[in-house]
Structure 1
Amino acid sequence: MKKLLLLLIFGYTTVQAQDIPFNCDFNAYLFQYNDVYAVDLASGNSYTVATDVTEGNINATAYNPADGFIWGSLTSPDKTIVRIGKDFKTKTFYIDELPSTNRYVGDVSAKGIYYLKGGGKTYYKIDLNPESDSYSKYLSTADLSQNISVHDWAFNAVDGFLYTVERKTNILFRINPENGTVLSLGIVPILSNLDYTYGAVYFDASGRFYVSANQTGTIYVIQNVQDLTGTNSMESNLFAFGPSSSQNDGARCPTAPVLQEICDNGIDDDGDGLIDCEDPSCSGYAGCPVIETTSSSSANAGGLESNNRLSEQISKRNFNRTKTSYKFDQTTAKPLMKSNTYGRATSGKATIQLSDFVPLEIINEDSVIESSPKDLIGITNATEVYSVDYMRGSQAIASILVLETEKGVYEHTKYICDRLLGAELVSVSTIEIKEQQFIKALIKNIDGSLEFVLSLSAKPTNNNTNFGIESHWNIDKYENNVKFYNFQIWSNSLDDLIHLGEEVVTLLDIKKPVTSYNNSTPPTVFVKKGKYFNGKLNLQIVNTNRSTSVAFDGGLRMTETDGVENVSSTIDLNGNYISNVEVDAGSLFDIGFRIGDGIATPDDLFMSDGPWGYDDAAPSTTVTNYTVDTNENTFNDNDYAVERNINLQATTSEYIATYRALTPKFNPIDLTAYNSFNFQAKGTGTMIIRLVKESIGAWEMQYKSTVNLTETLSDYSIHFSEFESSNGEPFEVNDITTIVFTMLAENGEKTIKEMTLEQLRFTTAVSLSIANVENNALLSPIAVPNPMITSTNIHFTTQQAETVTLLVYNQLGALVKQIPFEAVAGKNAILLNRNNLSTGLYFCKVKSNHAQYEITKLLME
C-alpha cells in the first residue's frame, strides 16, 4: 500500500501544468541544466526562452511527435521524467524501473516511445503515447549491439532509425531502436580529428542531421543520412556557429524543415542575414571558399581603443606609420621559441613576463613570431604590450595580443572596434573553456576574411596569490582600478581559437591558481554592421530574440575638437530578425553608443569618420590654434565628401602639416570613380597637397601638387593628372589612404603659417571656379577662334617666364591632351591643334606654378 501511494504521488505531480504543446515549431531547443534556449539552426543564434523550469537538471530531451510536447529526464526528483509545454510549465512522472543516475541520451519515436540511455549499452523504453493504455509507463530494457560513447541521439523521420555521433572517433552510427543493432556509417569528414562532445543533435524533415559540439557551439550538418550504407561517401559541412555548453541536450521536431542557403543566387534564402558565401553553411560549396583557409590579421595592426578619449593620439600614431611607410614584415620578425620553463610554475619572487602566457605548439603552427605594436604604449592605458602571430608557411593563422594595464581593463575589444572599420559581426555566441562559458565572435573583415575572436582578462586576487578571470562584452562590467593582464585572441579557425584560449587559461593557472570566473553572456540584439555617411548612421541589427524595440544611448562629437554630446532614442525593430535602420545622427566625427532591449547583455559599438590631425613633429614647430568645424554647405550627392573644415595656425622654421585620413584606421579607398580634388582654402604662401597611396613605400615618392594660398577664401580644383611623383608614372587613385596638406617655411626662417580648408571633396566634375591670384585679378585665358575647326590659340598673360602646361579635358573630365609651353613674361599664345579630337565641348586649363588660371570653355565643330 505504501509503494502504491508513492507511485500515485510521483506519477501525477504537477508544477502549474498546462496542456500547451509545441506542435512541431521550427525552433531547435537547447537545454542547459534547467534553462531553455531557442536556437535558430540556420544562423546559430540563440536566446533564452525559460529559466529554472524544473527543480533538477534536464537531460535526454526529445520532441514527442505523438503529443507535441518536449520530454526529458531529471536528475531530481529521483527516477523522474518530465513533460514540458510550450509555456514551459512542467509535469513530472516517476518511473521506478529507471536507474537513479546516468540518464542523458534520449529521443522519442514517431509512435511515442521514449528511448532513454546513459553510459554503457543498456537503454530503456517508455510509452509516451497519450492514446496508449500504457501511457507514461516503463515498457522494457534492451542492450545495444556494441558499446558506444555518445551523448545524444535523434530519430530520423525519413527512415525511423536513431542516429548519433561518437566522441573522439567522430563516427556516425545508425541504431535500430527495436533490437539495438548498431551500424557504423564511417567517420564524419567535417569532424575528423576533432575531440568534442556532441551533446545536442537534431533532424529536419529531409533527413539532414545537425550535430552541435558542446565546447565550441559549432553546428555541423550531415546530408541525407538515410542514404548512407557505411561504404558510400558522406557529405558533411559546417552549418552555423551556435552556443556552447558543458551540460546540454537538444530537442526538435524531426519533421520541421530547416531553411537552407542556396550558395550562388545572391539571395538570403535562410533569413539569417548572410548571403551566399557569407553564410558558413556555404563553406566549400558552389565556389565558396572553405571558411578556415584565409589568413588571419597580424596583431601588429591591432590594439586601438574603442572610445573617443584618445582619438588625437591614435590618429597621430596611424599617421606616423603612414608617413614613415611603416609595414610589419613577418618574414624578418623575431621568432618566439619554447623555453625549458614553458608551462612551469615559478617562485613567488619571479617577475612575470607577458610572453609567459603565450601558448606554443598548441595549434600545429610552423612558427610563432613576435609582432608587438610597441607604439600603443603612451597612447593607450597599456603599460606593457606583447603580441605574436602564429604562422603556417607564410600565412598568419592566429594572433594573440597581451596587454598589461594598471588601473582597469584595456579599453579596446576587437569585436567592438573593428565594426567601425567596415567589418561585420557575423555571429556572437559562446565557447566553453575549463567548463566556463566565454563569448566568441565571428567577424568578417573588410577584405572578406573571417576571424573568430575571444577576449578575456585576468586580475591578481587574494594578495596577489591567485588570478580571477573576467570576460565581458561590455567594458564597464569589468572591475575598476585594478591590474589586469588582457588577452585578445583571434584565429581563422574556431578549433584553434578554443585550443589557444584553453592554453592561456592553463598558463595563467600555472603562474597563479585561477580561483574565480566572472563572465557575461553575449548580446542577443546586436549591430551586424554599420556605416556613417552624410549625417546618417546606417545600421543592420540582428534581433535574435525578436524584441519589438531597443533603446539607443550614445555620446557623439560633431568634430575632433568638440566635446561629447549625449543622445538617446528608441529604435523600432517590430520583432524582425534583421532590420536595416537609419539613425539621424547629424554631422559628426565619432559616436560611441549602446543598444539594448533591457532583457539581455546590450551591444556596444564605436564608430568614427576618418580623422583630421596635424603633424607638428618638426622641433621648431608650435601649433598656436587648431580647430575643426562642421560643414556649413551641403555636398553634391555624386561627390565623395571629406567632411569637416579645419583652421590651423603655427610658428615654424621648418614645416607644419595637417592631414585627413579617409577612414578611421587609414585603410585605402578606391577613388577611380572621380577625377579631381576640390576644396576651398586660404592661408599664407604655398601649400603642398599629397594624396597618399598605400602601395607607395617611400614618402618622397607620394603624388603631390601645389597651390598658392591668399588671404581670400578661394575655390580650387586639382585634376588627378596634376598630381605628380618623381617616379614619373601616371597617377592611379585606387588606394588613397590620406590627404596631407604641408606648408614650408621659406628660407628656413621662423614664420607664422596659417591655413583654412573647407568643403573638401572628390568629384567627377571639372570646376569652372578657380582661385583668385595674389593681386585678386582674375587671369582668364581666351581661345581664338572659338568655336574652332582645325586649330585655335589659347591666349594668356604671365608676370614671369616659366614652363606651363596646357591641359585639355573632355566633358567627362578626362584629360585628352597636354601641351608643355615655355611662357615669357607678358602675353603668350599656345597653339592647340585638333588632330583626332571629336566634335563637342572641351575645357582648357593653363597649369602654372606661380598663378591660378580660370578654365576656358572651347567648342570644337
Structure 2
Amino acid sequence: MKNYYSKIKNFTLIILISFSFQGLLSQANEPFNCVTEAYLFQTNDVYAQNLASGNAVLEGIDLALDNINAVGYNEKDGYIWGSLRFPDNTIIRIGKDYSTTTFEIPGASFSYVGDVNKDGIYYLRKSSNSYYTIDLDPSSATYLTVLGTQTISKSLNVHDWAFNAVDGKLYTVEKNSNNLYRIDTATNVVETLGEVPILSGLNYTYGAVYFDVDGNFYVSANQTGTVYIIRTVQNVTSSLDMNSNLFAFGPSSNSNDGARCPTAPVPQEDCTNGVDDDGDGLVDCDDPSCSGVASCPTITPTSTGNSGGLESNNRLSTQINRRNINRIKTNYTFDVAKARKVEKNSFYARRSSNQNISLWDLVPMDVIPGTTAVESSPSDLVDITNATDLVSVDYIRDNKGYGTLLLLKTENKVYEHTKHICDRFTGAELLSVSNMEINDALFIKSRVKQPDGSIEFVATFSVRESDDNSSFIVESHWNLDQYEEKGYYNFQVWASSIDDLYNVSQEVLNLLEVQKPISEYKSSDAPLVFIKKAAYRRGGKIDLEIINNLRPSTIIIEGNKRATETATSEPVTFNVDLTGYINNVTLDIGNLYDFGFRLRNQYNLTPDDLFLSDGTWGVDDSSQRFVDTFNVIANNETDEEGVYKVERNISLVATANQDVSVYRSLTPKFEPVDLTAYDQISFDAKGVGTMKMIFVKESISDWNNQPYITVNLTDNTKDYVIYKGDITSNANGEVNLNDVKMLFITLVADDGSMVQKNLDVGNIKFAKQATASIGNEVSLERALVSPNPVETSATFTFNSKSTNDYNFEVFNVLGKQVHSEKITSKVGSNTINFDRKQLSSGIYFYKISSKSLEMKGKLIFK
C-alpha cells in the first residue's frame, strides 16, 4: 500500500515540519495519556481517528522499518505498545510525538493480535489458541520480560482483541462466523456470545477493535473501514440481548490494528433531538450510529439508473435540459414494475469467445440478496454525452431500488460525469468520503444524502485496456483530470448499504477478470477537505458547508462562472481560511447562471470539484433552426421577501412559419417547485403577436392539459400582472401550482407564413399580493384621486401648508416602481395629472412624499 500513501505521507511531513522544533522537543518521548482519539495503525503508519465521525487524520508515518501490529494502550505508562515484524522478538513503544523506542524480548515472536490490560500486562497472541504475556509495568521487577505462555479453551480465527475496563475481560470478533467472544484471562475460558446481529452475513476481517469507558465495543472492518458498535458487552449473554449497530465510516486497509485508552468516553449521538451531539457534522438520522434507532430507517431505497449519469461541465443547456424537456413533452416516466427483468444465464461469468466484450458481460447478477435485476438503461445519454454505449440495471425489491450499476463505454476519454458531483449539483449532501479496499486495491467510496432524505453509498471507477490489449487497468480517482485520454469502461455504482456497494463492485472486478486479467490498479486519495453541501442563493450568494479533515488551513476556491447562459465564462478566485472541522462559508459571487470550481488545499492533496447552476433558459429543440438570435441578459435586482424571482431575462429574434418556444427550468434538473403560496405572477414583455406561457407541472402527464396563460404583445415593453385565477387549463378543476418544473413560453404562429418575430421576456416574479405592495394602510393625509378606477388618466389633488419638494411615485402590486416624477408644491391646493400609458389592468399603489409628509393609497386600473 506504499504507493497509495506516498502523497499523504508527503503532506504529513509538511505538517510536521510546520511545527516548531521546540514544540517537538517538548513532546518527545512523552506518553499519550488517556485521550479520546482511537489510534488506527496501518502497516507502519498511524491515524488519529475520531470514532464518532469515522474521520481519520494521518499523523505518524514510517514509524518502523516493517509492520507494526498488535497495538495496545498501556495505562501504566500512557504509551502505545506494539509488535514488530522485523526485527524478530521485538516490541515497540510509541510516544505522543510518534517517536519510538524498541525492545528485544527473547521468546516473543511477532503477532498481529494484542492488547494491554489495566495492570500493564501485554497479551500477545501466539497461535489460534495461545498467547504470551509480557510485563510492561515500569515499576515492576519483571518489566520487559515474558511472564509465560497461556492456552485458551477455544481456537479463534481473530485479528485483534481488546480489554474492557468495566469487567477486565478480553473481547474479540471472529472472521466468517462473526461471533463475539469473551475471554477470561484469569481462567483462559473462552465464552461464545453468539453472532453479532449487525455483522450477520458479512465476510470481513476485523483488524482494529476498541473500547470506551462504558464498555461499548467498537469493531472496524478492514475492507470497508466501517466501524460497528456492540453496546455494553459486559452485559451480553447471547445474540438475543446483543445491541449492535453501525457507528461510523472510516478508512480501510489490508493491514489494520487499533489502540485506544479504554477509560476514555466516545461521544454518542442522540437520534431524536435535532442536535449534532457527537460533533461529527451529522444530525440524528444522518449519523450512521442512528441507523434503525428511533424513527431512523435502517436502509433507504436508492434512485434509479434511468435518471442518472448527468450533471454538467458547462454544457447544461445542451445536456440536462435537452433530455429532461424531451422526457416531459413525451410524458416519459420509468416504471420499475414494467421494466425488463434481467436474469443470470448460462453465459454469465464466461469469457467472450471472440474477445468482443459486451457491456452485459460486466453486469453483476445475484449480488444483493432478495433483489431482482431490471434494466433501467437511460439510452438518451448516448446522444448527449461522450458515451458510445451504455447499460444500467436497478436491483429491485418490492418495487424499490436497493442498488444500481450504470456502465458506460467511452472512446478516447473517461466519461464526463461523476455521481459525487452530479448529486451535489442537484441538492444532495456529501456526508462522508473515504476509501474501501477490494482485492488489495483502494477505491474511493462516498456516502450521499439525496434531497428526499434517502442515503446512498457510491463508488465510481473506470477500466481501460493495457497498451497491448492483453489486460485491464482499473482506476479510481476523485478528479476526472487524473484519468489518461484513453477509452474506458466507466462504472458508477450506488447502493443502500456499504456492504452491497462493496459486493457489486467486487463482482464487477471478478467479471472483468473473466475476460482479461487485471494487471494494475491506480487510485488517488479521497479529498480530506470537501464540500458537504452547496446552494446558490438568489442575489449572487453561494452557501457552502465545508468539511475539513486537515489541521486549520487555507483553501483556494477557483473556477469559472457565467453570468448568463449565453455569456462567456470569467475566472473567479477566493481564498478562505478554515478554522475547524465544520466550516460554513458564503461566497459573494454576484448573480450567475453557473459556476464550476475546484477546492484546492495548501498541501496540494486531492482537491474537491463541484458544479453549481441555477435553472436554465434555453430554446426548445423544435425551434432551434428558426432562431436568428437568442440572448440571456442578467437582471441584477435584489432579492425580496415574499417573492419568488426567476432570474435573468431573454431576448429572441426568429424567422419562422410555426410556433417558436423557449423554456426556463425552475431548478437545474427540473425538480418541481411549490408555488402555491403566491397569488400572482408578473413579468415584462414585448414582441410581435401572442405569447403563451405554460406552467409545466410534474403531476400532469398530458402536455395538452398543462395550465397556461396567453397575452397579446406590444412593440413597447409592458408590465403584466396575472392573478392565479386567470391561469387556465384544458383539464377540469382549479389550477394548483404546487409542483411546477418549468415555464414553457411560446411565440404563437399566426397564419403559417414565414415571418420574422421578436420576443423579450424578463423580470418574472411570483408574489404574495398581501405582502408585495408598498402598503395598504391609510396615511393621516391622503390625496383625492379622480377618477378611480382609472381608465386612461387620473388627477391627484392634495393640500400643502407650505412650498415643498415632493416625489410622486406609482408601484405595481409587487412593489416595482412603474412611474416617478418630482413636483414642487404651492401653499394650498395642488394637482398632479397622471397618464397611465401602457400600464396593464390591475391594482397599483401611489405615494406622494416629502421630507415631512407622506400620502399613499390604492389605484385600480381598468
Give TM-score scaled by structure 1 length: 0.86
Cα deviation digits, residues 33-64 of structure 1 (max 9, x gap): 11211211111122211221210011111111
Counterpart of 1:32? 42
SS at match of 2:627: strand
Match of 2:359 in 1: 354
User: What displacement does 1:615 show?
Assistant: 0.8
Residue 723 (structure 1) shift: 1.5
Q: Distance in 2 between matches of 1:231 and 1:568?
A: 56
Kept in 2, the 8 Å contact 1:18–1:90? The answer is no
* Deviation by residue 1:311-348 (Cα, 9 ceiling, x = unmatched): 4333222222222221112222222222211101223x
Q: Give the counterpart letter for 1:855 in structure 2.
A: I
Shift of 1:460: 0.6
Q: How far has the Cα of 1:434 moved from its partner?
A: 0.8
Please name the residue that 1:403 is paired with.
408
Question: Contact (CA 8 Å) 2:689, 2:750: kept in 1 or not?
Answer: no
Aligned equivalents of 1:62, 1:655: Cα separation in 2: 76
Aligned equivalent of 2:195 = 187
1:301 to 288, 299, 307: 307
1:468 corresponds, among 467, 473, 476, to: 473
Amino acid paired to 1:55: L
In the other structure, the counterpart of 1:543 is: 548
Which residue identity does 2:610 align to in structure 1?
A: L
Unpaired stretches in structure 2, ≥5 consecutive residues: 1-23, 774-783, 793-811, 815-837, 845-857
In the alignment, structure 1 residue 230 sits paired with structure 2 residue 238? yes
Give the 3-state SS of the residue equivalent to 1:328 in structure 2.
coil
* Identity score, percent: 50
| Distance (whole Å) between structure 1 residues aligned to residue 612 and residue 287 of structure 2 | 25
User: Structure 1 residue 366: deviation in Å?
Assistant: 3.5
Q: Secondary structure at the match of 1:747?
A: coil
> CA offset at residue 746 of structure 1?
0.4
Cα distance per residue 1:385-410 (max 9 Å; x no partner): 11111111211111111011111111
Give per-residue Cα distances to partners, 1:612-657, cap 9 Å, x unaligned.
Answer: 11114159x5111011121133232332221111111112111111
Maintained 8 Å contact 2:772/2:813: no
- The residue type paired with residue 401 of structure 1 is L
User: Runs of 4 or more off by more than 4 Å in structure 1?
Assistant: 766-769, 782-786, 794-797, 856-859
Mean Cα deviation higher: 223-232 or 263-272: 223-232
Query: Matched residues in 1 for 2:344 and 2:772: separation?
Result: 66
Residue 854 (str. 1) matches residue 859 (str. 2):
no
Q: Conserved in 2, the CA contact under 8 Å of 1:651 and 1:753? A: yes
Shift of the 785–131 alpha-carbon distance from structure 1 to 2, 3 Å rule, reads same
Equivalent residue runs for 1:455-604 within 5 Å: 455-480=460-485, 482-533=486-537, 534-574=539-579, 576-599=580-603, 600-604=605-609
Structure 1 residue 419 displacement after superposition:
0.5
**Does residue 242 in structure 1 map to residue 266 in structure 2?**
no
Q: Write out per-residue CA displacement over residues 118-155 of structure 1, whole angstroms, 9 at most, x where no aligned residue.
A: 54111111111122222222111101111111111111
Partner of 1:6: none
Residue aligned with 1:317, SS: helix
Residue 241 of structure 1 aligns with an amino acid whose one-letter code is F
1:143 aligns to 2:148 (yes or no): no
| Contact 1:401-1:488 within 8 A present in 2 as well | yes
Stretch of structure 1 that moved more, 86-95 or 747-756 = 747-756
TM-fit CA distance, 1:189: 1.3
1:660-708: CA deviation from partner (whole Å, max 9, x where unpaired):
1111111111222322222211111111111111111111111101111
Aligned to 1:820: none
What's the offset of the Cα at 1:490? Answer: 0.4
| Residue in structure 2 matched with residue 98 of structure 1 by the alignment | 108
Q: Does 1:383 align with 2:371?
A: no
Say whether the 8 Å CA contact 2:790–2:859 is kept in structure 1: no
* Alignment partners' CA distance in 1, 2:719 and 2:556: 44
> Which deviates the most, 36-45 or 522-531?
36-45
Return the alpha-carbon distance in structure 2 between the equivalents of residues 227 and 554 of structure 1. Answer: 55
Alignment-mate amino acid for residue 329 of structure 2 = K
Asked if the contact 1:110/1:157 (under 8 Å) is kept, the reply is yes
TM-superposed CA distance for 1:514, in Å, is 0.4
Q: Specify the SS of the correspondent of 1:855.
A: strand
Match of 1:694 in 2: 698
Give the superposed CA RMSD. 2.4
Contact residue 104 and residue 152 of structure 1 kept, 8 A: yes
C-alpha distance in 2, partners of 1:305/1:420? 7
Give 2:734's aligned residue. 730
Q: Distance in 1 between matches of 2:286 and 2:233?
A: 26
In 2, Cα distance between equivalents of 1:723 and 1:730: 9
CA deviations on 1:274-332 (whole Å, 9 max, x unpaired) are: 11122111111122222x1x211100101114411454333222222222221112222
Q: Distance in 2 between matches of 1:213 and 1:473?
A: 23
Q: How far does residue 107 in structure 1 lie from its aligned partner after superposition?
A: 0.7
CA distance in 2, matches of 1:231, 1:510: 40
Change (3 A) 1:748 1:597: same
Provide the rounded CA distance (Å) in 2 between the counterparts of 1:759 and 1:24: 62
Shift of the alpha carbon at 1:766? 7.0
Contact map agreement 2:196 2:239 (CA 8 A) in 1 = no
What's the offset of the Cα at 1:513? 0.7
Number of corresponding residues:
769
Aligned to 1:5: none
Q: Given that residues 768 and 855 in structure 1 are in contact (C-alpha distance below 8 angstroms), is that contact kept between their aligned partners in structure 2?
A: no
Would you say 1:714 and 2:718 are equivalent positions? yes
Could you tell me whether the CA contact under 8 Å between 1:616 and 1:656 is conserved in 2?
no
| Residue range with higher mean Cα deviation, 268-277 or 539-548 | 539-548
8 Å CA contact retained: 2:591, 2:636: no
- SS of the residue aligned with 1:378? helix
- Return 197-206 or 726-735, whichever deviates more: 726-735
1:835 is aligned to: none
1:269 paired residue among 260, 263, 277: 277
CA distance in 2, matches of 1:303, 1:231: 42
- Give the match's secondary structure for 2:234: helix
Distance in 2, matches of 1:768 and 1:281, equals 46
After superposing the two structures, state which structure 1 stretch, 674-683 or 698-707, moved more.
674-683
Paired letter, 2:53: S
**Larger deviation, residues 154-163 vs 311-320:** 311-320
TM-score (norm 2): 0.86
Q: Secondary structure at the match of 2:640?
A: coil
Equivalent residues of 1:310, 1:379 under 8 A apart: no
**Partner residue of 1:52 out of 62, 85, 89:** 62
Shift of 1:443: 0.3
